[in-house]
Every structure is written in C-alpha cells, then in structure tokens.
Chain A
Amino acid sequence: MNSPVVLAKSVAVTALGSDLEGLWQGLLAGRSGIAALDRFACDNYISDLGGCIAGLAATSDSLFQALLGRVAAQLGPLPRDCRLLVASTKGEVDLLQQHRGELRPELLFENLLATIAARLGLADRGMNINAACASSTVAVARGAALIASGQAEAVLVFAADVLSEFVFSGFSALQALSAQPCRPFDRQRNGLNLGEAGVALLLLSEERARREALPPLATVSGWGVANDAFHVTAPARDGRGLIRACQQALQQAELHPEQIAAVNAHGTATVYNDAMELTAFATVFNGRIPPLHGIKGSIGHCLGAAGGVEIAIGARSLREQRIPGTVGCETPEELAGDAVSSSTQVIAGDYLLCSNSGFGGINGVVILGRGAL
C-alpha cells in the first residue's frame, strides 16, 4: 500500500508577481506579464516578447541566484531531512554568456546544488533533474514516488529557469517564437513566448504533514512519465507518449478518466504541441475533454520550471473549484470542443491533471487531489 503524498507548501515567482497569490489573482483577472524585453537586444530575433520577472536583472549575481533568493525568502523553515530535487534545464546559463563561453566552476550543476541546499537550509545537496520542459513535473513524480514507497518522508522540489538570450536566440533560430502575445490552443496560434520562474513545492508523507502541522494544499494522487520515442524536438502527432503518461497516472491514482475535473495543459502555443495535446486528451478522455486551461499566455513558457508553477496553480484551482481562463485563446481549436475558454471556468470534482512535454520526447503527468485526505 502506497503512502499518501501531500503538497504542503508552494511558492512561485513569475512575471505575474512576486508570489503565488499575485500569480493566481493575475490569472483570474486575465492579465499577462508578457511584454517587450529590455534584458537584451532582440533586433535579430523573430520576437521581442517575453515574460520577465520585474527587477530580476537588477541584481549583481546571476539571474538564477536572484530567483533562488526570492523563492527562499518566502519559503520559511523546511524539515532538515528533506531530500532536494532541483529541476532546471539551463541553471546559470546567463553566466556562460557573460563570460563568453569560459567554463567556470559555477556552471556545473553540482556546485549550484550546493548553493541551493545551503540557501534553503537543507543538508541534502540533492540532484538536478533535466527532462527538458517536463523537468519539474518529472521531479514531482520522482519526489512523490520516493514518499509513496517509503523511501523519503519529505522532498523539496525547487525548479527554476531564467529568460536568457542563450535560450531566446535558440527558440528564435528554431522559428518557435511568436512575434505577438502567444495564443495557446487558439486556431491562429503561431508560436510561444518565453518566460521565467522560480518555484518550490514541499512534498510530505501524510504522517509527516500531520507532525509538521502543515495542512495539505493538495494530494499528489498519481503520476506518469513516458517518452514518445518519435523525435527529438517534435512531439508525436498522435500524442502516444502523453497518452501513456496520462494512463499511468490514472492507473496509479486508481481513477477513471471521468473523475478528472480539469486539466492544466502544457499549452505552449506552438502549432504542433497544442494539437498533439488535444489529440492525446481526446483519446484519454474518450472524446470528452474536461475543462482545460494553460497559463503560458499569461507568464510565458518557463521551461524546466513550467510544470512546477502549473502544479502550484492546479492545487489552488482544485481548492477554489475554478480554473483561470486561457489568456490568448480567442477561438479554440475544434478538437478542444468547449473545454477551453478565455474566461474563468467553474469546475466540479476532486482531481486535476497537469501535463508537460518537452524536447527529447518526454511527457510528464501529475494528478492532484483536493487537499483533504
């Protein structure tokens, strides 16, 4: 029998605010933190838009360190025996550009992990998980599995990626950026906007949560991870990997698809990703996709941190029984039916499914349950 897993704390810093409350209120109000970038010159790129965190570039350390500081300041004390799982695709990549490609020790994740552990007051230096844009979802799945199997009582997932010229130029070169505010699941979508975020999620066993007197924000009821085994940068159009990841998560949670009240989708606003997701969800939910939303029209695509932010928002959505509208989605794809809306939707039920997919063909899914165990 697996031990129940509780989401006990969540903190997020995004382009829509310095905390999770600001993000939630911003999402409900349909606001967008995507704006013209002034962090670097965009003259030679196909877009100049991104979701930057206000004031982050003004600090002297790397952007990542500044983000870590902002998250740590809100997190409060953590159990000392927490295992640490970091989820970042590029860590302090801005330093690589600052030093024009010079390989400095701080560029190694093992050194960055020591800094993160020290800043968060944890004994475990942990590991970084790199599963592209599904990194934090995979990290939450891993943390939940460790707790459920009794291998850990407490796991902190810290996920962060910054909006760097390194990554921005790459997505521009791949022609994956939109020159306009992105439009997830819209018929006219034409690419993504990049964002940045720092997020921390504290996972505890049910017993440990009681001992720590931390009421559950949500339970982590199921998880699944699967590879498309199809292409390195393009999703499998039939959604095969995402379908398998959803089915694993449902099986783990011992749920039927109709028990899922809502979906927080990856929704990058690229043509192929969003079509793949809708195809997969139509299969998983037998043609009746539950209310579905995506938040990348509001904060941009936060890469390895995307899933962490979305899980934090998913927990809040379940608690309040509503999902924010999908900013930028004016005319939803036909396959979405009436599942997607630009307005807040009321939901009814106890479970919400979060999904992310990324380069390398990876797909990660986490099913959250309402807070009470």
Chain B
Amino acid sequence: MKAWLNGIGWQTPAGPGPSGSDLVQPLIGGRLEIPTRKQIFASADKRFGRLDDFSRVGLAAAAFCLRDAGAEEYQETRSIGIVAASRYGCLATDVAYLETMLVDGGKLASPNLFAYTLANSFLGEVALRFGLGGNSLVINQQDSSRLAAVHFALEELAPSGQSGMLAGICDLPGPDPADSNDKPGAVFLLLAKEPGATKCYGCLETTPTGLSLAGERVSSLAQLLERCLTQQA
C-alpha cells in the first residue's frame, strides 16, 4: 500500500505550520494556542465563531495542509476523505456542554456546544469549507507512534475510489497538566494516489518492516514530519 505525500500542515504548541518553519518537527509539549479566524482564513467565515476549540485546531491544521499542497481551492466536491486519530476526542467540549446541562435541570443545555460533542463534527467543518466529499471519521486507539490515521488512510486509499485522504491527529491538551508526554495539537498530511503538481514529499509506503517515506523507514509521526521538513529545507 502506498500513496504520495503531497502536503503537511499543523497547529501545535510550535505554532502554525509549515510556512516559514525552521523547526525540527512540530510535535512538542507546551501551551497550545487556539487559532483565530484571521490566523487561518484571509476572508470572513460566518461559522467560525461557533466552533469549539477542538474544531478550530483541527480545521487550522487541515487548512494549512491543503494550502501547503496547493490544494486549497476547488470548483467541485472532491473525492478526498479525512481520517483523524484522537486520544481525547472532544472530551473538553463534552465537559463544557455538561456544565450547561447540569444547570437548572437541563433547561440551559447549549445546542451549539452539543453539535460539537461528536468528535467527527470538525471533519464536517473541514469538508464543507474545502469540498471534501470522501469518507470522514475520527478513530480512537492506543498508538504511541501517532501514525494510526496514516496507516488507516493507506489501507483505505488503494481499494477505494477516493483520490486522496487527509490523515492526521487532533487533540487538545490532556487533563493532566503535569503530563510531560502530552503533545497536543493537530497535524494533517495529504496522501494521494498521484504525486502533487505543486508539492510532493515523496512516496509513503507500507512495507513488511513498517512505514517508509521515499524508501527510508519512519517509525513515528514526529519522525515523518522531521523528514518532510529536512527535505523542504
């Protein structure tokens, strides 16, 4: 199974990327800034104010990835899917919604927050803004490499009619502020059946020994991003 890696994008404690980045790789600990509309889109976006933080971070990373790939603009809905792996999902939004629900016996439960208590809601936000009409789902599983969504996309792309998939991760900070392993944020990669006309970081392939980019083995998402940034530099 293989696909071309045509774009990368992120919103992490390292900031937004990859434009102008001199990072080794962006998956680091620290404070995650929630992006504003102006930091993502140049023009007005009527729905942006409604989005929860989880959606804003995920939407930003997806937008930056498509921009990096030169695939932001579209005329017709595209057969591109989205798969995001998440450890905590929209748990922070669940708690925020629950707080509105517990007041006054449910009378003040927020319909807007409730709409984002599904972890896949932000994928709908991405899909409608960029015309992505393929599969879209969030997956949860134990995975220290953070490559689960990349593997999923590689498995799914070959036998499906989709031309590409955005694959990545999305997580807000975990509940334990002292957890040094917590590296919040969102990262997306654009994987496609054809190499990109604007940019291509190489062929990503599942081999008997694991995942490889341009023939070199990669064992984690951080390492994969590091390879891409080295290549870009």
Interface residues of A (CB under 8 A from B): 2, 41, 43-45, 89-90, 93, 96-97, 100-101, 103, 107-110, 113-114, 125-132, 135, 138, 142, 145-146, 148-149, 151, 165-166, 169-175, 225-233, 240-241, 244, 248, 251, 358-362
Contact = CB atoms under 8 A, between A and B. Distances in A.
Contacts of A172: 106, 109
B136 A128 contact: no
Contacts of B107: 44
B109 A173 contact: yes
Contacts of B95: 96, 101, 103
A126 B140 CA distance: 9
A113 B110 CA distance: 30
A170 B117 contact: yes
B159 A149 contact: yes
Q: Which 10 A-B pairs have the closest CB atoms?
A: A170-B114, A109-B140, A360-B124, A127-B141, A103-B175, A173-B111, A232-B124, A110-B142, A128-B140, A225-B135
B188 interface: no
Contact of A96 (B98, B142, B160): B98
Interface string B18-53: 000000000000000000000000000001000000
B214 interface: no
B196 interface: no
Interface residues of B, number: 57
Given A96-B95, A130-B140, A232-B121, A44 B128 contact: no
Interface in B131-182: 131-142, 148, 152, 155-156, 158-161, 175
B3 interface: no
A113 B135 contact: no
B119 interface: yes
A138 B133 CA distance: 15
B91 interface: yes
A228 B91 CA distance: 25
B192 interface: no
B142 to A, nearest CB: 4
Contact of A132 (B77, B120, B158): B120
Given A109-B89, A113-B142, A128-B141, A227 B105 contact: no
A113 B137 contact: no
Contacts of A358: 118, 120
B109 A169 contact: yes
Contact of B136 (A101, A169, A361): A361
A130 B132 contact: no
* B94, B98, B131, B136, most chain A CB atoms within 10 A: B136
A89 B140 CA distance: 11
A148 B159 contact: yes
A127 B88 CA distance: 14
B2 to A, nearest CB: 14
B159 A174 contact: no
Interface of B: 47, 77, 81-82, 87-89, 91, 94-95, 97-99, 101-102, 104-107, 109-111, 114-115, 117-125, 127-128, 130-142, 148, 152, 155-156, 158-161, 175
A202 B142 CA distance: 23
Given A132-B118, A232-B125, A44 B106 contact: yes
B115 A232 contact: yes
A43 B117 contact: no
Interface-central residue, A89, A103, A232, by most chain B CB under 10 Å: A232
A240 B132 CA distance: 12
Contacts of A149: 155, 158-159
Contacts of A138: 135, 137
A2 to B, nearest CB: 8
A130 B102 contact: no
A241 B136 CA distance: 12
A109 to B, nearest CB: 3
Nearest to B128: A229
Given A110-B140, A359-B120, A173 B89 contact: no
A145 B160 contact: yes
A173 B108 CA distance: 8
A125 B118 CA distance: 22
B155 A146 contact: yes
B165 to A, nearest CB: 12
B53 to A, nearest CB: 15
A110 B142 CA distance: 5
